[in-house]
Amino acid sequence: MPAYRSPSRRLKRSPRALMAAGALGSAAALILTGAGPAAAAPPAPDEPVRSGQAWMGAGTRIEQGLASSAAGGGVTPMDTSGVQGIDVSHWQGAINWGSVKAAGIDFAYMKATEGTTFKDSRFSANYTGSYNAGLIRGAYHFARPDVSNGATQAGYFASNGGGWSKDGKTLPGVLDIEHNPYGAMCYGLSTTQMRTWINDFYTTYKARTTRDAVIYTTASWWNTCTGGWTGMSTKSPLWVAHWGTANPTVPSGFPTWTIWQYTATGRVGGVSGDVDRNKFNGSLARLQALANNTA
């Protein structure tokens, strides 16, 4: 474990469609049980995402392309060892969190906000339900650097689900910053402007919550849009998205990963459909330390 142990796209298609595309792979071995009502159908990978409707990984499917997204999302390896987690949004519909916990999931992140005006319609139910089921949980904000500065969005996030309390079950909030699903990859910002945006978000979020915001991204996006910036390496834990590989590629500027999103087409009892699967880089005790800010 390194000295600083603070804390990736979702291919939203039906299991039947994924099987037809040959993309479900070993994810089919994970049995779906105890799920709530079926989730709504999100945009297909070749369809535009409506404003406010993005999810963690919505930009990564564009970055990787449909073919590689399908292959990278659900074939092999499925690294279900160690401390496991999922991330969700309203696209999963109602979730049976007790069944999720029984399936061996220890932590979960859920979308809270996007930009400066959008709140996820399932956030409150997911945040409370996961907590009551005994999961360690946290919230994420889908970044929109094209609509406001970073400080404004950090404040909006902190006021609408991204807060933190030292209860041993609440993880620090996540800045989900990835390939723009609405337009230009880097949201029309230069590398210098993007660095400023991220730093302003981080500074404001920490001032509001006392916690370092986790950064969710991909190596390709970070290296391209920030120029491989090293400025967050000692401040923000890294959540890296890289599917279909035995070892994730870490963005330049970060020493290692804290959370790894290793598939976007996983299955978990309690969730009606595909869900992102994640792994924590450490023991459950270390995850609890992260939640308590003693890591």
**Where in the sequence numbering do the catalytic residues fall?**
87, 176, 178
Going by C-alpha positions, the residue among 240, 241, 234, 197 that lies closest to residue 212 is 234
DSSP for residue 241? E
**Distance between CA atoms of 264 and 12, rounded to whole angstroms?**
8
Q: What angle do CA 254, 260, 261 make, to 5 degrees?
A: 130
Q: Which residues contact 201 (CB under 8 A, 6 or more apart)?
A: 143, 150, 151, 153, 154, 175, 213
DSSP for residue 40? P
Which three-class secondary structure state does DSSP give residue 260?
strand
Kindly state the helix (H) or strand (E) to which residue 129 belongs, with its residue range. Answer: helix 123-132
Contact yes or no for 81/279 (Cβ under 8 A): yes
